[in-house]
Amino acid sequence: WAWWLPPASSSASCPATFNLEGYGPVSLVLAGWSEGQLVDVLGDQIVARMGGRAYFADTCTAGAYDRHQYMALSLLGKQLRYTTDVSGAGCGCNAAFYLASMRQNADPGSCGEFYCDANKVCGVYCAEIDLQEANKHAFHTTLHSSHDGSGKGGGFGGYGGKDWTAAQYSPGSSCIDTTKPFEVTVSFPVDAAGQLQAMETKLTQVGHSCSVSARVDSYKDMQELSAALAAGMTPVLSYWSADDMLWLDGKGDSNGVCAEDLKHCSATAAFRGFSVSDIGAPVPEATFRVAEATFGEEQSAEKQAEEQAEQEALVAEIWRQEQAEELLRAKRAEQDAPVIVPTLAPASQRAKNTEGFFDVFGRWFNFMNLYDAGKTKHQAGRAHWAARIALAAGSASVASIVAAVWIARRRRAYRDMMLLDGDEPGEHAAAPP
């Protein structure tokens, strides 16, 4: 129930707003204010990238957190509808949408965001209602009072999710085919006194006549959650993964699917078509049009290609950011590396170390034809020994070697000139200086 979030960035910017039918325009406040937003708004769709979390708000101030800006959505006696796409979220992945009492929380917590939940992720407890914790193999909906991390829930998968089966909710199912988006409706009915009775969740899919549903009632802390809903709770979106998610998608006591959490997660999960209304009210026309036209089985090839391009662009952007971060880490590591200042070894060690160079320079002088066999060997040999002396002294400078080469070449040129005259340079003339 915890996940990594990147540090705050000075280049933060607020995502675009979107419409919550029955409420009005909504802003998103990003957890961590990370560079390269991990949650963004594309048209009427909210796209959450892996590791991202965002809070519904009435207004947004980039790079800052103000609990008074967070939405306080009162859902007591209401129903909330939305469409979700978890088609790329496999075992170990969690596309979550939930409510938390963040507007009422005055403690910024360890995250500095006024975030709170029933598991004290950022150091602060508060009431939490999980509308959805899901992947393509499991779906949980859970009530949590402020200090009840386990809570009481329903759905399918792991522990406690026994309201439907894998045959009804799975990739390729004839009821809820999780390779395609589906609609979620969560209702909070009340009794005659206006107190919360239950949380009712229903999943439907365009083109399929069946549905699955769960009802969570008789919870020991229903009165606390009734008060939290009446005061207004903040909707939160997140997408994360873990290798210990079998409580959600494992076999558990529900005959779930996942034997282990391999974290085969797509880069993103998506949510759209949000609306709030009285319980039993017909689906708002705008929401119905979005669900039918965008997510129906009659979806056009052009629209599918457009959405695929958006997904690929998101993946490419994530890869670009990861590469940039890797280069930055490498540069910082290079800057932080200690500077090694070379020191001059003792003379005896320098002489020892230069032994290996003598043969190399000898071969090089031979290659340059600076000495030949016979009478001229002693002349070029002087240049060879000049190089040896320079190296043994530890100087080994380019100037020393070039000077030695120049002397040898002068002597060889003189020898060639004398040979043309028929004389041997060692017999009739003195060598040039």
10 vs 131, which has greater pLDDT? 131
pLDDT (average), residues 202-213:
96
Task: Work out the end-to-end distance of the chain between its first and last CA atoms, rounded to an integer number of angstroms.
Answer: 88
Is 147 among the domain residues?
Answer: yes
Residue 2 lies in a domain: no
Is residue 308 pLDDT above 80, yes or no?
A: no
Would you say residue 230 lies in a domain? yes
Lowest-confidence segment of 172-181, 238-247, 353-362 by average pLDDT: 353-362
| Count of domains observed in the chain | 1
Report the b/e string of 80-93 with b at 16+ CB within 10 A: bbbbbbbbbbbbbb
Supply the range of the domain harboring residue 167.
Answer: 18-278
Task: Kindly state whether residue 375 falls inside one of the protein's structural domains.
Answer: no
Is 429 part of a structural domain of the chain?
no
Query: Is a pLDDT exceeding 90 seen at residue 262?
Result: no
In a domain, 110, yes or no: yes
Domain membership of residue 196 (yes or no) is yes
156 falls within a domain: yes
Report pLDDT for 318.
57
Q: Does the structure show a pLDDT above 80 at 172? A: yes
pLDDT for the residue 313? 65
Residue 291 pLDDT exceeds 90: no
Q: DSSP secondary structure string, 297-322?
A: TT--HHHHHHHHHHHHHHHHHHHHHH
Instruction: Give yes or no for residue 163 having a pLDDT over 90.
Output: yes
Model pLDDT, residue 373: 42
Highest-pLDDT range among 262-271, 279-288, 344-353, 392-401: 262-271
All residues at 6 or more sequence positions from 348 whose CB lies less than 8 Å from its CB, including other chains:
none
Is the pLDDT confidence value at 398 over 50? no
Q: In CATH, what number is assigned to the domain containing residue 175?
A: 2.70.100.10
Q: What confidence tens digit (pLDDT) does each residue in 86-145 have?
A: 999 999 999 999 999 999 999 999 999 999 999 999 999 999 999 999 999 999 999 999
Token couple for 131: 């509308």
Q: Which residue has the tokens 């979550």?
A: 96
Please name the helix (run of DSSP H) or strand (run of DSSP E) that holds residue 48, with its range, or none: strand 45-49
377-392 and 398-420 helices cross at what angle (nearest 10)?
180
Q: Pick the residue with more confidence: 382 or 288?
A: 382
Tens-digit pLDDT profile for residues 44-58: 899 999 999 999 999
